[in-house]
Amino acid sequence: MNRKQIQELRANRPNQDEAERPALPPGHPIAWLVLTENTILEGTAYPLPVFA
């Protein structure tokens, strides 16, 4: 998934109360984007090749 697709996916998510929504699994594109946005890891794939 590219960054634009991930941002569209995040924008199109249903608006739920954060306490009631299910947790995103590790490595989910939205979760990974939120964690890596504006860092040196931005744009890298999950999992990182070093750990795969």
Cβ atoms of 32 and 7 within 8 Å: the answer is no
Domain enclosing residue 47, as ranges: 1-14+27-52
pLDDT digits (tens, 9 = 90+) for 9-43: 777 776 666 667 788 888 788 888 888 889 998 88
The count of domains in the chain is 1
User: What pLDDT is attached to residue 39?
Assistant: 93
Asked if residue 41 belongs to a domain, the reply is yes
User: What pLDDT is attached to residue 40?
Assistant: 92
Asked if residue 22 belongs to a domain, the reply is no
Asked if residue 51 belongs to a domain, the reply is yes
Asked if residue 4 belongs to a domain, the reply is yes
User: What pLDDT is attached to residue 47?
Assistant: 77
Residue that has been written with the tokens 């960054």 in this structure: 3
pTM (2 d.p.): 0.53
- In this structure, what token pair is assigned to residue 29? 């594109």
